[in-house]
C-alpha cells in the first residue's frame, strides 16, 4: 500500500523569498501534459574529496522512444558553468569519486548486460569498464585506499563469484520452455518482480581491473542489504582502515513477515560474517566514524512497524556498548553522515512539513540537536535531500525542491547562510509555465488535533470567481505531502482548478504519536481529518465551488478514495465529492492481505492476519459498502503492481458498473505501483484531468488532446 514517505513542504513566506525563477503571472502559460516529458530529473550531488566539484546525474525524457536516458554532469562547487561528462545513449548514473579525487566511478548500461561499473579518469581519457557481472551491479563504494571497489550484485548460492556459473544458469532458465514458477516460501515476489533463485551478495574487485570479483558473503541465504523503500540509501560502509565491510540486511527465514534487519560485518578479504546487533526491529544504514572507533546506524524499537521512529544509534566497536543520540527527540532519522572530526553526526529528517538537515553531538542527546539546513533559517522551507559536507563542514551541497520548482542542486555555508543555486536544469521550462505559490492552512481535525494543509490557487486567479477544486490524498499511509512541486499541482492549477492537500492522521513529520494514530483506524480519524479539511476550505475561501470538488489518491490515497465512494456524506447534506479518481487502491482487505508481499505491513496496521481479526479486515474493506456507491469514479492500476495487486481496482470497477455508477477503468499492463513510462504517464495524467473536467469543469479543453 505504501509509497515512501520522504515528502516535505515549503512554507509560503519563505517560498516567496526564495523563488528562484520569479516571473510575472501574465507572462506564463499553463503547464500541460506535453510538459511532463520536458521536465528533467536532477540526481543527488556527489561532492569531490577536495570540495571543488559536484558530479550529478540529469535524466532526460525521450517521448518517442518512451524512456529516460541519464548522463553525468559536473559543476564547480562554488558555482559556475556545468558541463556534461558522459554522453552514452544507454544511461549513466550513480557517480562515486575515488578517495584521491582523480577518478569517477559510475554505473552504466552501455554494455547491454545490466548496469556495470565504469571508471572515468578526471584528468582526461576515456572511461573503462571495470565489471562484467551477469545481471549488473547495485550500490558500490571505493575502499579508503582506492585499490578496490565493493559492490552489491545478485548471484546463485551455488555459484558465488563464479560468473561463468551464473551465466550458465541464467541461460538454462532462458532456454527452458517450461516457465512455471514454483514457490515454497514467502516472499516469492516483491514490488514488480518474482523471486529468481538469486540472492544479493557483497563483492570486492580490484579497481585497476587486475582481478575478478570476490564474494565476501557467500554464506548468506538471503539478500545482504535492505531492499525496502524505507532504506536511507547505500546500506553498507567500509571501515577507514579498509579491513571490514559493515552492512545491514535481513537474514530471517520468514522474509514476508519480518521487518527485522541487523548490522553485520565481514572482512574485506571475505570469511565469516559477524552479527553486531540483536534488535528485533530494524537496524540499518551503518556508518563508521573517521577514527574507526564508533559505528553509527539508525534503528527502530517496534517489530513489524516500518514507520516507527528511527533513532540515531552509536556503538563503541571496542566494548560493543550501544546508546541512542536521539531517543528524546521526536524526529525520525533518515540518511546521515559523520563530520570530518568525528565529533558530530548530521542527519536528515522530516519536521513539520520540511525535510531538513540536523546535527547532534556524539556526546549529547536531543537538547543538542540543531537545524543546519532548512526550517526557519536562510535555506528556507522545503525538501533538502542528499546533503553532503565540504572539507571541515565549511559548506554543504544538497538537492532542493520547493513548491515552485523541481529539484536543483544548491549549496550553503556551514551555518546555513550564503545560499546559492548551482544548477539550472529546468530553468527554461520553469520560466514558461505557471507555478502556483502555496498557502499554508491549519485546521482542527478529528478529536481536536491540529492538521496541516495547503491551498494552491489557479492561473489568472480571480477572487470573484467560483472554481472547481481537486483534493489530492497522499499514499503511505505513513507519508507526508508538502511544499514540494508535484506534476498534478502544476497541471490542475494551470487548468483552472484550486488544489488542496493536507497531512491527516498517519502522516509523518508531525511527531510519532500523530503517525501512530492511524493504526487500526483507516476508516476513522484520517477520514475525518480530510473531511474537515475540505469543509474548512469551503467555509473560509469563497472562491471554491462547493458543488465542484473532486478527490484523487494513489496507493493508500487510492484506498481513501475507494472508502469515500461508500461514505461520501457531507456536513451539509450534500455529497462531499462530485467525482473520484483512485489509483492502486485496495478494495477488500482479505484478498489484499493474501496477494500483497510484505505481510508485516497489514499485520501491524490491522492487528494480525485476517483469521485472527476478521472484524477489522471486514470493517475497513471499501467494497463492503458498495450499496452506497453513487459517485462517478475513475480507476487506474498497473498490472505489475504486486504491492497492491490490480484485483483491488477490478473489484471496485465491477461493483460500480453493476450498480450503474458512471465509471471507467484504465489498466497498464507494463506498469507497476507507479506509472513511469513517458507515454503512459502523459496518458495517465491526461485521463485523470479529463475525468475531472467531465464532472467538474466541462467547459475546459480535454487534457488528452494535449498529449502527443
pLDDT digits (tens, 9 = 90+) for 73-124: 999 999 999 999 999 999 999 999 999 999 999 999 998 888 999 999 999 9
Where do runs of H (alpha helix) occur along 226-267?
none
Contacts of residue 23, Cβ cutoff 8 Å, sequence gap at least 6: 431
> What pLDDT is attached to residue 14?
31
- The pLDDT-based confidence of 365 (bands split at 50, 70, 90) is low
| Predicted confidence band of residue 26 (pLDDT cuts 50, 70, 90) | low
Count of other CB atoms within 10 angstroms of residue 670: 12
Task: Name the 3-class secondary structure at 685.
Answer: helix
pLDDT surpassing 50 at residue 15? no
Of the candidates 104, 130, 156, which is a domain's last residue?
Answer: 130
Classify residue 89: in a domain, yes or no. yes
- The helix (run of H) or strand (run of E) holding residue 431 is helix 427-432
Please check whether residue 551 lies inside any domain of the structure: yes
Distance CA 275, CA 169 (A): 31
DSSP 8-state symbol, 170 = H
Q: CATH number, domain at 613?
A: 3.40.50.1820
Alpha-carbon span 50 to 33, nearest angstrom: 42
Residue 322 host element (H or E): strand 322-324
CA dist., res. 94 & res. 99, Å (int): 16
Cell of 296: 553509527
What is the grid cell recorded at 260?
527485522
> Left (φ > 0), alpha (ψ -120 to 50) or beta: where does 43 sit?
beta
467-473/498-503 β-pairing: parallel
Mark which of 114, 130, 146 sits at the end of a domain: 130
Backbone angles phi, psi at 130, to 5 degrees: -100, -45
What's the count of helices (H) and strands (E) in the chain, helices before strands? 12, 39
Average pLDDT of span 223-246: 90
Work out the pLDDT band at 701, boundaries 50, 70, 90: low
* pLDDT greater than 70 at residue 5: no
pLDDT in tens, 605-636: 999 999 999 999 999 999 999 999 999 999 99
Residue from 267, 229, 231, 235 nearest 248 by CA: 235
Evaluate whether residue 106 is within a structural domain. yes
Q: Treating both helix axes as pointing N-terminal to C-terminal, what angle do 556-566 and 647-659 enclose, rounded to 10 degrees?
A: 20
The domain boundary residue, chosen from 111, 130, 149: 130
> Minimal CA–CA distance to 354: which of 422, 400, 410, 418?
400
Residue from 48, 519, 6 nearest 310 by CA? 6
pTM of the shown model:
0.94
Say which residue the cell 538537492 belongs to: 399
With respect to residue 292, please indicate whether it lies within any of the assigned structural domains. Answer: no
Task: Determine, yes or no, domain membership for 370.
Answer: no
Q: Write the pLDDT tens digit of every residue in 179-208.
A: 999 999 999 999 999 999 999 999 999 999
Compute the half-sphere exposure of residue 541: CA atoms within 13 Å on the CB side of its CA.
27
Q: Give the C-alpha separation, 506 to 480, whole Å.
A: 9
- With cut-offs at 50, 70 and 90, classify the pLDDT of residue 18: very low
Dist CA 544 CA 496 (whole Å): 11
Residue 348 lies in a domain: no
Number of domains in the chain: 2
Mean pLDDT calculated for residue range 593-607: 96
- Has residue 536 been placed in a domain? yes
Q: Is residue 398 in some structural domain?
A: no
* Set of cell numbers at residue 74: 559536473
Strand partners, 263: 248
Query: What is the pLDDT at residue 681?
Result: 97
Q: What angle do CA 704, 706, 708 make, to 5 degrees?
A: 95
Average predicted confidence (pLDDT) for the chain: 93
Q: Is the pLDDT of residue 16 over 50?
A: no
For 595, the domain range is 437-701
Mean pLDDT of 221-239: 88
Predicted confidence at residue 367, as pLDDT, reads 61
Share of the chain above pLDDT 90, in %: 88
In the three-class reduction of DSSP (H, G, I as helix; E, B as strand; rest coil), residue 102 is classed as coil
Q: In the β-sheet with 467-473, what is the strand arrangement from edge to edge? A: 438-444, 450-456, 498-503, 467-473, 544-554, 579-583, 633-638, 663-668
Amino acid at each position: 500500500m505504501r509509497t515512501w514517505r520522504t515528502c516535505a513542504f515549503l512554507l509560503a513566506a519563505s517560498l516567496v523569498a526564495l523563488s528562484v525563477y520569479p516571473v510575472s503571472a501574465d507572462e506564463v502559460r499553463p503547464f500541460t501534459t506535453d510538459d511532463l516529458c520536458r521536465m528533467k530529473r536532477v540526481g543527488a550531488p556527489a561532492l569531490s574529496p577536495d570540495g571543488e566539484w559536484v558530479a550529478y546525474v540529469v535524466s532526460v525524457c525521450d517521448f518517442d522512444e518512451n524512456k529516460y536516458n541519464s548522463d553525468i554532469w559536473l559543476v564547480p562547487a562554488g558555482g559556475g558553468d556545468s558541463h556534461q561528462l558522459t554522453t552514452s545513449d544507454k544511461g549513466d548514473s550513480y557517480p562515486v569519486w575515488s578517495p584521491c579525487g582523480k577518478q569517477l566511478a559510475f554505473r552504466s548500461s552501455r554494455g547491454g548486460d545490466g548496469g556495470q561499473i565504469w571508471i572515468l579518469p578526471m584528468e582526461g581519457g576515456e572511461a573503462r569498464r571495470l565489471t562484467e557481472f551477469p545481471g549488473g551491479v547495485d550500490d558500490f563504494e571505493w575502499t579508503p585506499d582506492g585499490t578496490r571497489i565493493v559492490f552489491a550484485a545478485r548471484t546463485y548460492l551455488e555459484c558465488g563469484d563464479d560468473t561463468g556459473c551464473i551465466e550458465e544458469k541464467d541461460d538454462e532458465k532462458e532456454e527452458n520452455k517450461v516457465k512455471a514458477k514454483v514457490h515454497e516460501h514467502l516472499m516469492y515476489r516483491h514490488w514488480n518482480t518474482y523471486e529468481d533463485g538469486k540472492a544479493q551478495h557483497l563483492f570486492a574487485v580490484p579497481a585497476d581491473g587486475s582481478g575478478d570479483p570476490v564474494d565476501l558473503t557467500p554464506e548468506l541465504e538471503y539478500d545482504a542489504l535492505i531492499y525496502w523503500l524505507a532504506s536511507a540509501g547505500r546500506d553498507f560502509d567500509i571501515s577507514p582502515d579498509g579491513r571490514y565491510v559493515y552492512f545491514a540486511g535481513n537474514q530471517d527465514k520468514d522474509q514476508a513477515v519480518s521487518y527485522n534487519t541487523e548490522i553485520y560485518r565481514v572482512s574485506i578479504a571475505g570469511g565469516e560474517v559477524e552479527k553486531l546487533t540483536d534488535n528485533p526491529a530494524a537496524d540499518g544504514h551503518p556508518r563508521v566514524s573517521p577514527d574507526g572507533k564508533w559505528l553509527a546506524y539508525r534503528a527502530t524499537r517496534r517489530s513489524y512497524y516500518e514507520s516507527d521512529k528511527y533513532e540515531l544509534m552509536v556503538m563503541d566497536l571496542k566494548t560493543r556498548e550501544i546508546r541512542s543520540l536521539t531517543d528524546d527527540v521526536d524526529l525520525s532519522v533518515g540518511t546521515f553522515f559523520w563530520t570530518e572530526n568525528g565529533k558530530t553526526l548530521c542527519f536528515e529528517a522530516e519536521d513539520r512539513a520540511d525535510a531538513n538537515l540536523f546535527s547532534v553531538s556524539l556526546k549529547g542527546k536531543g537538547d543538542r540537536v540543531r537545524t543546519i539546513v532548512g526550517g526557519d533559517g536562510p535555506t528556507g522551507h522545503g525538501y533538502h535531500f542528499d546533503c553532503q559536507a565540504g572539507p571541515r563542514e565549511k559548506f554543504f551541497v544538497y538537492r532542493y525542491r520547493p513548491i515552485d520548482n523541481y529539484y536543483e542542486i544548491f549549496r550553503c555555508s556551514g551555518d546555513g547562510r550564503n545560499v546559492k543555486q548551482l544548477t539550472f536544469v529546468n530553468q527554461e521550462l520553469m520560466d514558461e509555465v505557471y507555478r502556483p505559490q502555496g498557502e499554508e492552512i491549519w485546521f482542527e481535525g478529528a478529536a481536536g488535533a491540529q492538521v496541516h494543509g495547503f491551498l494552491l490557487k489557479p492561473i489568472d486567479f480571480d477572487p470573484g470567481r467560483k472554481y472547481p477544486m481537486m483534493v489530492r490524498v497522499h499514499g503511505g499511509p505513513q507519508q507526508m505531502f508538502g511544499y514540494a512541486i508535484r506534476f498534478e499541482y502544476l497541471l490542475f492549477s494551470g487548468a483552472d482548478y484550486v488544489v488542496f492537500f493536507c497531512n491527516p492522521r498517519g502522516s509523518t513529520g508531525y511527531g510519532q504519536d500523530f503517525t501512530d494514530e492511524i493504526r487500526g483506524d483507516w476508516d476513522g480519524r484520517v477520514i475525518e481529518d480530510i473531511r474537515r479539511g475540505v469543509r474548512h476550505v469551503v467555509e473560509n475561501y469563497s472562491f471554491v465551488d462547493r458543488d465542484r470538488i473532486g478527490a484523487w489518491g494513489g496507493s493508500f490515497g487510492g484506498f481513501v478514495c475507494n472508502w469515500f465512494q461508500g461514505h461520501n456524506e457531507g456536513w451539509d447534506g450534500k455529497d462531499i465529492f462530485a467525482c473520484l479518481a483512485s489509483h492502486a487502491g485496495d478494495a477488500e482487505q482479505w484478498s489484499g492481505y493474501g496477494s500483497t508481499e510484505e505481510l508485516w505491513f497489514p499485520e501491524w496496521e490491522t492487528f494480525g492476519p485476517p483469521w485472527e481479526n476478521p472484524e477489522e479486515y471486514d470493517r475497513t474493506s471499501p467494497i463492503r459498502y458498495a450499496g452506497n456507491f453513487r459517485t462517478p469514479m475513475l480507476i487506474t492500476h498497473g498490472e505489475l503492481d504486486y504491492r497492491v495487486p490490480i484485483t483491488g481496482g477490478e473489484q471496485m470497477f465491477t461493483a460500480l458498473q453493476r450498480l450503474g455508477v458512471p465509471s471507467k477503468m484504465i489498466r497498464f499492463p507494463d506498469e507497476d505501483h507507479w506509472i513511469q513510462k513517458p507515454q503512459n504517464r502523459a496518458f495517465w495524467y491526461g485521463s485523470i484531468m479529463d475525468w475531472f473536467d467531465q464532472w467538474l469543469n466541462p467547459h475546459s479543453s480535454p487534457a488528452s488532446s494535449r498529449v502527443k
